[in-house]
A = this chain, B = another copy of it.
Amino acid sequence: MMPGLKAGFELNARLEADSEPLMWLGLCELRIMNDSRWPWLILVPQRPGIEEVHDLTPLDQAMLTFECNTVAQALKKSTDCTKINTGALGNIVRQLHVHVIARSEGDAGWPGPVWGYGMREPYKRSDLHGFCEKIRSALQ
C-alpha cells in the first residue's frame, strides 16, 4: 500500500474532483479546495463508511480534533485571516469531511458562510502550488 493509505478507504468522487491533495496526516487526508476565493482546506478521516464525527471511535475523534486544530492554526498563521471557519456539513457529500477556511473581512460572501455561495473559482496552477507550499511549511 502507498504510505498514508488506509484499508478500505476511498475518497468520495466529488471531493476528489473539487479539491487537490496536499498531504497525509495521521488520520486524515488533507486537501485544498480548488477555489481561489478563500484559503480553504478539507480534512477527510481515512475511515470507510463514516458520515458523522460521533461515528468515529473516541480515539479517532481525538485525533480529528488534534489534526483540525493544528491545520486551523497553520492556516491562520500563514494567511493572517480575521477568523477561522470550521464545519462538517455533509448534506451533499456524505463521506465525513471537515472544512477549515480562512475568512477575512470583505472576502467573498463575508460575513456569511462559504458553502453554497456563488460558483467555485479554480486556482491557476502556479497559485495552487504556491498555496500548497505555504501550508506545508506552516505545518512543519
Contact of A65 among B61, B70, B94, B113 (CB under 8 A): B61
Given the known interface contacts A54-B69, A112-B115, A113-B115, the answer about A85 and B85 at a Cβ–Cβ threshold of 8 Å is: no
Report copies per complex: 2
A113 to B116, CA, bound (A): 7
Given the known interface contacts A54-B69, A72-B54, the answer about A111 and B92 at a Cβ–Cβ threshold of 8 Å is: yes
How far in angstroms is the closest Cβ of chain B from A80?
Answer: 13
Contact yes or no, B87 A91, CB < 8 A: no
Contacts of A76 in B (CB 8 A): 52, 54
A27 to B89, CA, bound (A): 24
Contacts of A53 in B (CB 8 A): 68-69, 72, 84, 86
